[in-house]
């Protein structure tokens, strides 16, 4: 009896050692080994390639005047410089153009064109996505509380939705209210969680009224959703 117990113990020890040797000698896949050491460049990106390229192109083409130029004036040191220089001679320092060159998890990277007298130069600036206006612009653009990261993650963990919500805060600060709806549509189009998108009929086809009455209720729901989104953005 003691002999059998001893044999079982020896067998268990041998099996344990054999399993350890097999596990140690089994090669890991190269991809798994690499990912455990450091994340890939793609894992580090904020928006994916399609979202990044489309967002940059869309903002540069459609929102230079109402969004990008006010962003540079309100949230970068160029706005402070413009206030100081124009205090002596009005219009001597003008920010005449702005284009986005990159979007990161924290910042918008922009190239701004400045006109001083007859000279035009380009300066690179960065606008933090949770910016407050520079001191000289606070009277023109009163600030708003930054978006709570916990609330953002609760609403959607998708980077495109995170970007849109933070952009809408900046748009509201510079009073570009009409651009906020376009930002929401950008998020919907670029694969966001589709928060704020109304269904085509919202089951109103089941309502026993003609289509004019159904459209009336649909329009009311659309306006209410838009108002709520703007107020909560």
How much is the pLDDT for 203? Answer: 58
Q: Is residue 6 part of a domain?
A: no
Which of 101-138 are b and which e, b meaning 16 or more Cβ less than 10 Å from the residue's Cβ?
A: eebeeebbebebbbeeeeeeeeeebbbebebbbbebbe
Long-range contacts, 215-224 (Cβ 8 Å, 24+): 222/198
How much is the pLDDT for 220? Answer: 82
Low-confidence residues of the chain: pLDDT under 70: 1-44, 193-208, 229-233
pTM of whole model > 0.75? no
For the chain, the domain total comes to 1
How much is the pLDDT for 195? Answer: 57
The span from the CA of 205 to the CA of 199, in Å, is 12
Q: Side-chain half-sphere of 224: how many Cα atoms within 13 Å? A: 7
Q: Is residue 222 part of a domain?
A: no
Domain holding 79: CATH number? 3.20.180.10
Q: Is residue 11 part of a domain?
A: no
Query: Domain range holding 90?
Result: 44-197
Would you call 94 helix, strand, or coil by DSSP? strand
How much is the pLDDT for 101? Answer: 97
Q: Is residue 16 part of a domain?
A: no
Q: Is residue 118 part of a domain?
A: yes
How much is the pLDDT for 43? Answer: 45
How much is the pLDDT for 215? Answer: 79
Q: Is residue 176 part of a domain?
A: yes
How much is the pLDDT for 3? Answer: 44
Residues across the chain: 233
Which of 61-78 are b and which e, b meaning 16 or more Cβ less than 10 Å from the residue's Cβ?
A: eebeebbbbbbbbbbbeb
How much is the pLDDT for 232? Answer: 59
Q: Is residue 23 part of a domain?
A: no
Distance of CA 28 to the CA centre of its chain: 36
């Amino acid at each position: 009896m003691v002999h059998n117990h001893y044999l079982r113990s020896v067998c268990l020890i041998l099996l344990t050692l054999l399993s350890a040797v097999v596990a140690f000698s089994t090669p890991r896949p190269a991809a798994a080994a690499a990912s455990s050491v450091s994340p890939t460049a793609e894992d580090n990106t904020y928006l994916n390639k399609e979202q990044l390229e489309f967002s940059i192109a869309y903002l540069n083409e459609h929102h230079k005047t109402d969004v990008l130029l006010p962003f540079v004036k309100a949230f970068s040191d160029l706005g402070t410089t413009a206030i100081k220089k124009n205090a002596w001679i009005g219009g001597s320092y003008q920010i005449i153009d702005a284009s986005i060159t990159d979007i990161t998890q924290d910042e918008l990277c922009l190239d701004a064109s400045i006109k001083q007298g007859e000279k035009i130069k380009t300066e690179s600036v960065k606008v933090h996505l949770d910016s407050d206006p520079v001191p000289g612009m606070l009277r023109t653009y009163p600030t708003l509380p930054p978006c709570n990261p916990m609330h953002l993650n609760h609403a959607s963990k998708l980077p495109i939705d995170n970007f849109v919500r933070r952009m809408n805060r900046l748009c509201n600060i510079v009073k570009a209210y009409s651009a906020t709806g376009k930002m929401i549509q950008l998020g919907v189009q670029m694969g966001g969680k589709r928060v704020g998108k109304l269904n085509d009929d919202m089951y109103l086809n089941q309502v026993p009224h003609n289509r004019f009455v159904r459209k009336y209720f649909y329009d009311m729901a659309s306006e209410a959703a838009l108002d709520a989104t703007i107020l909560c953005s």
